[in-house]
Amino acid sequence: MSMATTAEVTPPDAGAVEARVRDLLARMTLSEKIGQLSQVNAPWDGEDLPEDFAEAIRRGWIGSVLNAVGVEQVNEMQRIAVEESRLGIPLLVGRDVIHGFRTVFPIPLGQAASWNPELIREGARIAAREAASTGINWTFAPMVDIGRDPRWGRVAECLGEDPLLASRLGAAMVQGFQGDDLRADDAIVACAKHFAGYGASESGKDYAATNIPERELREVHLPPFRAAVDAGCQTLMASFSDLDGIPATANHFLMTTVLRDEWGFDGFVVSDWDSIHQLAIHGLTGSDRESAYEAAMAGVDMEMASRCYIEHLERLVEEERVPLERIDQMVANVLRVKFRAGAFESPYRDSALFPALGNDEHRAAAYESAVQSGVLLKNDHGTAGPTLPLDLDALDRIAVIGPLTDAPGEQLGTWIFDADASISTPPLASLRDACDGRCEIEVVRGLETTRDRRHDAFPAAVAAAQAADVALLFVGEDAILSGEAHCRADISLPGAQEALIEAVAATGTPVVLVIMAGRPLALESVTGFVDAVLYMWHPGCMGGPAIVDLLTGRRNPSGKLPITLPRVTGQIPIYYAHRRTGRPPTPESFVYIDDIPPHAQQLSIGNTSFHLDVWFRPLFSFGHGMSYTDFRYERLRLERDSVEIGQPVRVFVDLVNEGDRPGVEVAQLYLHDQVASVTRPVRELKDFQRVELEPGERRTLEFLLPPEAFAFIGRDMKPRVEPGRFSLWVGRDSDATLRVELELTRETRA
Ligand code: BGC
């Protein structure tokens, strides 16, 4: 067996694949067909295959296995499928390879803060290579659900709040997993999930119902799936959630009207874990048989974990409720992907032909990803200049405080089934290396975990800070506080961390907060006390070196928020691309609770859209992220101020690095349609560029907006572009103020 890499294989011929699908289908019994539609959880854990399981594969009753661990076992499973089953159809072997495999990269939300599709593609390529070496040929990623509610634990796994950003980054992940050719041994099939709307679960509670009007569905939630499909993603996973009364797993509109008829998707849809069986728990059906019927007819091709298809589809076909043609379609969708993935030609994997798991090169990539995911939120100037970067030569003593100082497992975040925590480097070890005896480091964790409420160790932390030139506080969330089913009703720092920060800050020693968390946290009550804040998400196995290099200026921060940071939990949902309202808040109309006169009743206070007890802006806006150098934007201009609908629009801006060190800036372009037949968000991200500039360097950036950039979903639920005035901004974040106006005019047909 030799290993072909994605660069060495030629793309499959679509006609030949279809012919093979038809040929195979014609030779299959109904029971073998239904077998292809069944995905079974591996009933062993690194040991021998149980005989009943082997027999089920032999009889063609299993099309895919998930969570099969161990290359020998996987090869044995494939051998039984290929050599001992009647038709020799190989298995798809699925696993949640979400942000790395053995080498853990930052959580997807962290990777999204890089705004760097190329980096994300490379991370997924490495994850694919590591996973493939163990026999996995299908990952349940990327998750491209839009995350606008940070209470939701799975916000960790998403690519942020914005459809354009999530589309570009999700497509890059698909390309990374699937490589240039899916048949290569180091490529794995991608799965865009969870189709669709899962991120809108009510109250940020996992599995809760979603209510998304069709326009919002089409403008916000569906585009990243469309981008994944356009990038060649071969599978989609149906969401657990109920969408306006029809759970996604039984939603014909989503899986057939949109996905097949409108987008022309020809891969397959897998249910989520047990989600077909759960249709009865939702109350949509009264039995597993009806659930099988609903899911099959709506568009779910393969069932994960539960047994509704294997137990009931045959009967449903006999009763002529589910037409055989529908079964054939479902099976063809699955077989097509197996052929495209080269599973028939190369069902086995030989780990020895792959690079070692967690090797230096893979860890170097995880380091780069962690560096680029770090977002510098705040960096105050003291008397001697900005707090960061730290000059280790000028510091005698550093106090290192906080529960995440030295927590290699916690910094890995959620979804780390196959991780090796022993190759995870926490900040303390990296700081010791960097100091190399130049300065003293005093460590007081202060709290055992991020959830710890005890104040016993505070005096020691305060004493350490008092004696130090700077206090570094590593706080945030333990890994267990985010991820599937790990939602929070209060997204402030858990445990007694706020009190610890306050106590340390009261010493007057400069305080740098380094936050590692699975979600945006509501930090209003602490950011005022501290001098600098570096937001690292859960940064993965190379978090330590990345953090220390960012703190010391060996690397210049370039991450930008892919999601808004609220001030307090009650502001949720808060996202930049909201619609305006007829009564937008202004600084003048805002009234703060403490300013209301005593005993005031029925008073008109402001009468604009705000909460009385919190400033109406977020704490940090979407797109925000600072650098150690200063970037200035100027001369924003259009090629033409008036453009006919259907024509692209060219936008130019000059970007200058005014500081004294090289840096990377993510230049962001936002658009607003001033008057439309449907009200539009106050701004929408339409393009972005990562630009590296030397000190003093000036560059003219060019953006080319395609005609679709001006489209929205009209009253008839179809995309349309209307003539009129548009505002365009280019700048460092979603609050950019540099603006030009564009007139779109009616199309004149020659
Ligand atoms: C999750 C999916 C995941 C699947 C398999 C489900 O509970 O929602 O995202 O891929 O389990 O582990």
512 and 642 share one domain: no
Q: Whose CA is nearest to atom 8 of ligand 1?
A: 272
CA of 492 to the centre of ligand 1 (A): 27
- Determine the pLDDT at residue 48: 80
Q: Residue 399 has what DSSP assignment? A: E
Residues 438 and 532 in one domain: yes
Report the number of distinct structural domains present in the chain: 2
- Cα separation values, 566 from 164, 516, 529, 579, 616, Å: 21, 16, 17, 17, 10
Asked whether residue 504 falls in the same domain as residue 409, the answer is yes
Q: What DSSP string describes 217-233?
A: IIIIISHHHHHHHHTT-
177 domain residue, yes or no: no
Identify the CATH number of the domain in which residue 654 sits: 2.60.40.10
Range of the domain at 546: 360-552
Cα separation, 223 vs 232, in Å, equals 14
**With contact defined as beta carbons under 8 Å apart, do 665 and 689 qualify?**
no
Residue 175, domain member (yes or no) = no
By annotation, the residues acting in catalysis are 272
**CA terminus-to-terminus distance, the chain:** 61
What pLDDT does residue 365 have? Answer: 98
The answer to whether residues 517 and 638 belong to one domain is no
What's the rounded Cα separation, in Å, for the pair 655 and 513? 30
Same domain, 421 and 540: yes
51: in domain: no
Of 447, 268, 449, 416, the closest CA to residue 341 belongs to 268
157 Cβ inside 6 Å of ligand 1: no
> Is the shortest distance between the CB of 418 and ligand 1 below 6 Å?
no
Determine contact, residues 152/205, Cβ cutoff 8 Å.
yes
What integer is the mean pLDDT of 309-333? 98
On whether residue 443 sits in a domain, the answer given is: yes
The last residue of one of the domains, among 552, 585, 616, is 552
Residue type, 241: S
Average pLDDT over residues 165-177: 98
Q: Is 330 helix (H, G, I), strand (E, B) or coil?
A: helix
Residues 537 and 647 in one domain: no
Looking at the structure, do residues 513 and 413 belong to the same domain, yes or no? yes
Residue appearing with tokens 């340390």: 504
The CATH number of whichever domain residue 390 belongs to comes to 3.40.50.1700
541/637 same-domain check: no
Containing H/E element for 24? Answer: helix 14-26
- In testing the pocket of ligand 1, which one of 193, 239, 272, 302 has its CB within 8 Å of the most ligand atoms? 272
Contact 580, 604 (CB under 8 A): no
Q: Are residues 382 and 471 in the same domain?
A: yes
Q: How far is CA 399 from the centre of its chain?
A: 34
Looking at residue 40, what is its pLDDT? 97
Q: Which of 504, 294, 469, 319 is nearest to 394 (CA)?
A: 469
- What's the CA gap between 60 and 24, in Å, rounded? 13
8 A C-beta contact, residue 521 and residue 375: no
Which of 552, 573, 588 is at the close of a domain? 552
Distance 96 CA to ligand 1 centre (A): 7
Query: Ligand 1 pocket check: which of 95, 140, 415 to mutate, most ligand atoms within 8 Å of Cβ?
Result: 140
Q: Where are the alpha helices (DSSP H) in 394-470?
A: 427-435, 458-466
Among residues 552, 583, 615, the one where a domain terminates is 552
pLDDT tens sequence across 482-492 = 999 999 999 99
Percentage above 90 pLDDT, the chain: 95
Question: Residue with the nearest Cα to atom 10 of ligand 1?
Answer: 140
Are 544 and 639 in the same domain? no
Q: With respect to residue 178, please indicate whether it lies within any of the assigned structural domains.
A: no
Residue 183 lies in a domain: no
With b for 16 or more beta-carbon neighbours within 10 A and e for fewer, the 372-401 pattern comes to bbbbbbbbeeeeeeebbbbebeebeebbbb
Q: Does residue 383 sit in the same domain as residue 526?
A: yes
**pLDDT at position 124 over 70:** yes
pLDDT band at 606 (very low <50, low <70, confident <90, very high): confident
Residue 230 belongs to a domain? no
- Give the distance (Å) from ligand 1 centre to CA of residue 486: 13
Digit-coded pLDDT (tens) for 57-69: 999 999 999 999 8
Q: Is residue 582 part of a domain?
A: no
The CA distance from 205 to 484, in Å, is 10
pLDDT value for 1: 45
- Residue 13: per-residue pLDDT: 81
Is 637 found in the same domain as 539?
Answer: no
Single pTM value for the model = 0.98
